[in-house]
Structure 1
Amino acid sequence: MSLLEARGIHKRFGPFVALEHVDLTVEARQFHGVIGPNGSGKSTLLKCLVGAEDVTRGTIALAGKRIEKLDPAERARSGMSLKFQIVSIIAQLSVFDNVLLAVQAHDSFLSLLGSRTRRKSAARVDALLASFRLTRYADVTAGTLSHGHQQWLEIAMALASEPRLLLLDEPTAGMSIEERRLTGELLRPLKEHCSVLIVEHDLDFIRGICDVLTVLHQGEVLDSGTVAHIQSSRKVQEVYLAHV
């Protein structure tokens, strides 16, 4: 059984068709990339998967459980977590406190009253910061971080719930070449714990990290397969890659 199965996804905004007949499958511990020109429906697809937008028609299943009618919070509890393209950290708080809030958001009120739970939360925060090379910035105000470090901070926050599926919307947007390379290094170990679905414009980055690519064009799936298959796909070369 696949971890995520989206079938026949349609999304309309009035007369405008944003997605049509979109099928997407993500396997357990797989890095799956979604690429396509601007306006092809990539971000809309992520929003439909996590419930930020309702699908007009179609089904979405996570680990065999239908979730297309669940609200975003229920989908998150089912094991999904999304990092949007626009950074949404709390700029006035420290880096440590941003991640701590993300960790504690998934604890019950009663559990938060116990000192043992607080110690456990702090240990979890320390581990997440270390995973994204943020330990030395723990006491720094988050809003003063560089853009790249803010992106890493938000990925760490998205992982606080220990999701089975992490969705990333252009995680390297605005990064330098070196930051994009480091982002790939920091994400690869996640495959031991969860699957990752990535929307990205940087083709070198996404080809270097993903096992499977799905190409969207005008709201429909143009092709899907391994990186080697997509690179050799004549349809993709004609419609997308030739124009990048």
Structure 2
Amino acid sequence: MPLLEATGIVKVFGKLTALDGAALTIGENEFHGLIGPNGSGKSTLMKCVAGAEMPTQGKVTFINRDITLLSPTERARAGMSLKFQITSVLPTLTLYDNILLALQAQSSLFDLVFSRTRGVLHDQAMMMLSQFRLADRAHDAAAALSHGQQQWLEIAMALAARPRLLLLDEPTGGMSLEERRVTGELLQPIKQHCSLVIVEHDLDFIRDICDRLTVIDQGRVLASGTVAEIQANKSVQEIYLRRA
């Protein structure tokens, strides 16, 4: 049984059909890349999966549950987490407090009212910062981080809820080559407990970390398969790679 299955996804904006019967299937502990030319519908499909956009037609099933009409908050409670391309850390707060707030979002109101969470969550917050090579900056303001480090912090925050599925929309945008390489290294360990869907333009990066790829072109799935299968696919070579 797939972890996530989106079928027949149609999304219409006025006279524009952004998605026309797109589909996506994600397995347990799978890293899955969404690739395609600019404007192909990759991010729109991601948003339909996450609930940021509601599909005009189609169905999204997550952990054997129909979530097509659920809000992003309800999907988060079900075990899904999303990080958009634009960084949304709280820049004036320290890295530690950014992580702590993300962790506290999972705590009960009772624990929050009686201030029981900070001490309990301290070790977990530091562990997450260490996992993303940020522990030595724990008490620095998030605004002092490089762009790449802010992306790592936000990924760590997205993982605070211990999701079954993490959705990343162009996480390496604006990063240096070294930051992209490190990002791949930092993501690998989460495969033990979390699947990943990633929209990305950097083909080298996505090829190195993903188990499977889905290619979207003009709102439709052009091909889906292993990295090797996609690289050998004639339609992908002729349509996607030529236009990328």
TM-score normalised by structure 1 residue count? 0.98
Q: Check conservation: 2:99, 2:157, Cα contact below 8 A.
A: yes
CA positional deviation for 1:127: 1.2
Deviations 1:132-166 (A, max 9, x none): 00001100100111000000000001001000000
> What is aligned with 1:47?
47
Deviations 1:31-76 (A, max 9, x none): 0000001100111111111111111011001110110111110000
Q: What is the rounded CA distance, in whole Å, between the counterparts of 2:232 and 2:131 in structure 1?
A: 35
Aligned length: 244
Matched, 1:212 2:212: yes
Secondary structure of 1:240 counterpart: helix
> What is aligned with 1:88?
88
CA positional deviation for 1:119: 2.2
Secondary structure of 2:198 counterpart: strand
Alignment-mate amino acid for residue 234 of structure 1? K
CA positional deviation for 1:113: 4.1
CA positional deviation for 1:123: 1.7
Unaligned segments of structure 2, at least 5 residues: none
> What is aligned with 1:139?
139
Alignment-mate amino acid for residue 182 of structure 1? V
Alignment-mate amino acid for residue 71 of structure 1? S
> What is aligned with 2:171?
171
> What is aligned with 1:4?
4
> What is aligned with 2:203?
203
CA positional deviation for 1:111: 2.1
Unaligned segments of structure 1, at least 5 residues: none
Alignment-mate amino acid for residue 63 of structure 1? I
Matched, 1:241 2:229: no
CA positional deviation for 1:116: 5.3
CA positional deviation for 1:241: 1.1
* Seq. identity, %: 59
CA positional deviation for 1:120: 2.5
Secondary structure of 1:119 counterpart: helix
Give me the CA root mean square deviation. 1.0
| More deviation, 205-214/109-118 | 109-118
Q: What is the rounded CA distance, in whole Å, between the counterparts of 2:106 and 2:50 in structure 1?
A: 17
Alignment-mate amino acid for residue 133 of structure 1? R
> What is aligned with 1:23?
23
Q: What is the rounded CA distance, in whole Å, between the counterparts of 1:120 and 1:25 in structure 2?
A: 37
* Large movers: runs of 4+ above 3 Å: 113-117
Alignment-mate amino acid for residue 21 of structure 1? G
Deviations 1:149-191 (A, max 9, x none): 0000000010010000000000110011111000000000010
Secondary structure of 1:204 counterpart: helix
Alignment-mate amino acid for residue 192 of structure 2? E
